[in-house]
Amino acid sequence: MVNDSQLKELIKRAREGAGKRKFTQSAELTLVLKDIDVKKGFNINEVVVLPNKPSRLASICVVASGDMGTRARKAEIDKVVEPSELDRLGTNKREARKVVKSHDFFLSDTAQMATVGRSLGQFLGPQGKMPTPVPYGAPIESIAARLRGAVRVKAKNQLNISAKIGNEKMDDAQLAENASAVIAAVEKKLPQGDKNIKNALVKFTMGRAVKLTSLKEEEKAKK
């Protein structure tokens, strides 16, 4: 539905409309869906590794102890939660919510998954952030490195999906590649693929959203 040249044009126009600010603006892609019955439990929760890493990398929390915990710390993973701290978080809802909100992705030693479910499941579940189980001896360092350049793309019982594809420091081609990766991942999860995508919008933090439908209408008018 959306080709590379159209994505670049959307990004170009969105950038022009955002202006210069005193902070680095994020770039966000929104896909509007159609012909899907959300009442039947429509749900997407995908992790998409972006071809071009943004300057703000995803934050990762690992639940582990022993060797895995040690390796996670050496890999400079943002937060390592030991089993003792996990038990404490289970009794402190305010702090548990803070931990869940502060991190984009969660990994857990498979041996701790049941405890994670009891302690943090009520907070992780609704956010679509239940941890990925990591077996003993798995390369936690490379798994974390992969996730640092990823975004979570999710939608539950709604006809629009939004995901950050980078920021204004990245050029249009890099942002277009990231947007294309997100679109490809979403299409694979839709019943009719790209036919279920009604519109695509790109927006920078302080700018207006530029719509694909408007771009196509302009292209038709020129013919």
Residue whose entry in the numeric block shows the structure tokens 């994505």: 7
CATH number of 60-147: 3.40.50.790
- The phi and psi torsions of 192 (rounded to 5 degrees) equal -115, 25
Q: Is CATH 3.20.20.220 correct for 18-55+153-222? A: no
Tokens of 10: 């959307």
Instruction: Look at residue 54 in the predicted model and tell me its pLDDT.
Output: 83
Instruction: Look at residue 29 in the predicted model and tell me its pLDDT.
Output: 96
- Global pTM value: 0.86
**147 closest CA partner among 59, 43, 69:** 59
| Cβ proximity of 196 and 33 under 8 Å | yes
Instruction: Look at residue 192 in the predicted model and tell me its pLDDT.
Output: 93
Interatomic CA distance for residues 28 and 106, integer angstroms = 23
Helix H, strand E, coil C: the string for the chain is CCCHHHHHHHHHHHHHHHCCCCCCCEEEEEEEECCCCHHHCCEEEEEEECCCCCCCCCCEEEECCHHHHHHHHHCCCCEEECHHHHHHHCCCHHHHHHHHHHCCEEEEEHHHHHHHHHHHHHHHCCCCCCCEEECCCCCHHHHHHHHHCEEEEEEECCCEEEEEEEECCCCHHHHHHHHHHHHHHHHHHCCCHHHHEEEEEEEECCCCCEEHHHHHHHHHHHC
Interatomic CA distance for residues 144 and 71, integer angstroms = 11
Instruction: Look at residue 183 in the predicted model and tell me its pLDDT.
Output: 96
Per-residue pLDDT of the chain (223 residues; tens, 9 = 90+): 788 999 999 999 999 999 888 999 999 999 999 999 888 888 899 999 999 988 788 999 999 999 999 999 999 999 999 988 988 888 899 999 999 999 999 999 999 999 999 999 999 998 889 999 999 889 999 999 999 999 999 888 889 999 999 999 999 999 999 999 999 999 999 999 999 999 999 999 999 999 998 877 777 777 6
Q: What are the residue boundaries of the structural domains of the chain, listed by start?
A: 18-55+153-222, 60-147
Instruction: Look at residue 223 in the predicted model and tell me its pLDDT.
Output: 67
**134 closest CA partner among 119, 121, 120, 146:** 146
Instruction: Look at residue 222 in the predicted model and tell me its pLDDT.
Output: 73
Q: What's the sign of the alpha-carbon dihedral 165, 170, 172, 178? A: negative
Instruction: Look at residue 46 in the predicted model and tell me its pLDDT.
Output: 92
